[in-house]
């Protein structure tokens, strides 16, 4: 018997080259007169947001730009964005950038209509009123935030990355244009692409997986594993960029509905304590967590391996699964992602906080979705192995 589970996506998704041209008409369809465009300073300076701004202007929608989300979003970004939204009397938010501007925009959208502070809503399904209409235009092929009902906001006073989830956080419109990723630096291409691959793998092995998410997760694994290295090696390869971005979108929809698992649960404390970018910390953990988790569901990991092109040969299911895990680790090595130790996370720095990190990982709930359930002690050992 297949249990009943909800499956949510944005109401409209535009995917393909020059999809950004649809931003203005879609904003107009939402009834927008004045949009708050949330982005980061670098994207604004290099002109990456220009197609989005032009489309809005051409459709008669005024634009106010907040380009201050230059790092992973925290409470200050939410406060400033909310203040601008109210002072400028904007009736729509357009998030253009990587996961940080999109996550910040989600928080601003929902807090414009709900009481209290964003900290009050840490966890799942605590909002009671929909937010200001939100459109998401990603410029990286990684987070999938344009198609998820989650946001992560850092409370810097507590060094806590707050995971907040609600159907009301799902953007109304997703505009996914691979041309916006052509100038993405190689390091960001690798980190965001591996973040997307982690989303797809964890969505497929999650205990909350369902038939709809399985199809998308396996497709995403095939697209990303087959194109990410090409996009990294030749940033102007439009086909590789498009396929990687499509995989990222599919992975985002998959994990938003099936949830993530142990890698993400362990990744957030690394980011909070050592300020390692999310995609990089996922990449540093993915190999060791896959090795640990294989025995929890060898069949699912073998399916992942086959999606990556691994042939059965004479190997049994576990053998195929192990080859798939090695292929993932080899991809990470070829993409030259730094290890945690290369990023300055030493044993001396890890040991004083590793128990709290393990507790925070478990408290996030994500490890509970893993096919093999870890104890606190096992998570501690996995952190040590990841160094």
Domain count, the chain: 2
The predicted-structure confidence for 124-181, as pLDDT tens digits, reads as follows: 999 999 999 999 999 999 889 999 999 999 888 887 788 899 999 999 999 999 999 9
Tell me what pLDDT residue 80 has: 96
Q: Residue 275 is part of which domain span?
A: 186-386
Across 373-386, average pLDDT: 96
At residue 59, φ and ψ (nearest 5 deg) are -95, 5
Nearest residue to 60 (alpha-carbon basis) of 94, 31, 20, 93: 31
Domain co-membership, 157 together with 198: no
CA dist 138 and 136 (Å) reads: 6
Domain co-membership, 137 together with 191: no
Domain co-membership, 197 together with 317: yes
Domain co-membership, 230 together with 159: no
Residue 168 domain-assigned (yes or no) = yes
Domain co-membership, 102 together with 224: no
CATH number at residue 157: 3.40.50.1970
CATH number at residue 267: 1.20.1090.10
Domain co-membership, 166 together with 299: no
Assign residue 97 a region (left: φ > 0; alpha: ψ between -120 and 50; beta: otherwise): left
**In the chain, what percentage of residues exceed pLDDT 70?**
100
Residue 356 domain-assigned (yes or no) = yes
User: What's the whole-number average pLDDT of the chain?
Assistant: 95
**Within 13 Å, how many C-alpha atoms sit on residue 127's CB side?**
27
Task: Tell me: pLDDT of 314 over 80.
Answer: no
Across 26-49, average pLDDT: 95
Domain co-membership, 196 together with 162: no
Q: Which of 159, 181, 203 is the last residue of a domain?
A: 181
Report if pTM > 0.85: yes
Q: Which of 181, 197, 212 is the last residue of a domain?
A: 181
CA dist 91 and 134 (Å) reads: 9
The predicted-structure confidence for 38-65, as pLDDT tens digits, reads as follows: 999 999 998 999 999 999 999 999 999 9
Residue 170 domain-assigned (yes or no) = yes
Q: Which of 165, 181, 197 is the last residue of a domain?
A: 181
Residue 205 domain-assigned (yes or no) = yes
Dihedral of alpha carbons 215, 174, 281, 105, sign = negative
Strands 150-155 and 160-165: antiparallel
Residue 3 domain-assigned (yes or no) = no
Residue 5 domain-assigned (yes or no) = no
Task: Tell me: pLDDT of 305 over 80.
Answer: yes
């Amino acid at each position: 018997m297949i249990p009943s589970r909800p499956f949510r996506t944005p109401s409209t998704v535009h995917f393909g080259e020059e999809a950004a041209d649809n931003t203005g008409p879609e904003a107009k369809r939402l009834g927008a007169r004045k949009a708050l465009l949330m982005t980061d300073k670098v994207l604004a300076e290099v002109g990456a947001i220009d197609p989005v701004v032009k489309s809005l202007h051409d459709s008669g929608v005024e634009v106010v730009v907040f380009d201050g989300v230059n790092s992973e979003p925290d409470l200050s970004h939410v406060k400033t964005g909310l203040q601008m939204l109210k002072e400028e009397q904007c009736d729509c938010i357009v998030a253009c950038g990587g996961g940080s501007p999109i996550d910040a925009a989600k928080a601003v959208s929902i807090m414009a209509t709900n009481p209290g502070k964003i900290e009050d809503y840490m966890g799942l399904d605590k909002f009671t009123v929909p937010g200001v209409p939100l459109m998401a235009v990603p410029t990286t092929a990684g987070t999938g935030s344009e198609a998820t009902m989650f946001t992560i906001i850092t409370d810097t006073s507590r060094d806590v990355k707050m995971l907040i989830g609600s159907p009301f956080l799902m953007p109304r419109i997703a505009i996914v244009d691979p041309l916006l990723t052509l100038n993405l630096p190689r390091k960001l291409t690798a980190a965001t692409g591996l973040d997307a691959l982690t989303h797809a793998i964890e969505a497929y092995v999650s205990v909350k997986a369902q038939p709809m998410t399985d199809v998308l997760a396996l497709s995403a694994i095939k697209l990303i594993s087959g194109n990410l290295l090409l996009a990294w090696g030749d940033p102007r390869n439009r086909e590789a960029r498009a396929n990687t971005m499509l995989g990222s979108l599919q992975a985002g929809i998959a994990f938003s509905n099936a949830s993530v698992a142990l890698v993400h649960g362990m990744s957030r404390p690394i980011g909070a304590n050592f300020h390692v970018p999310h995609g990089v910390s996922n990449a540093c953990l993915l190999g060791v967590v896959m090795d640990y988790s294989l025995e929890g569901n060898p069949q699912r990991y073998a399916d992942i391996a086959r999606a990556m092109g691994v042939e059965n040969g004479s190997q049994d299911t576990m053998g195929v699964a192990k080859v798939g895990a090695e292929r993932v680790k080899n991809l990470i090595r070829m993409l030259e992602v730094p290890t945690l130790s290369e990023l300055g996370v030493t044993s001396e720095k890890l040991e004083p906080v590793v128990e709290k990190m393990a507790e925070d990982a478990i408290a996030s709930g994500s490890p509970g979705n893993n096919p093999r359930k870890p104890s606190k002690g096992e998570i501690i050992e996995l952190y040590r192995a990841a160094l």
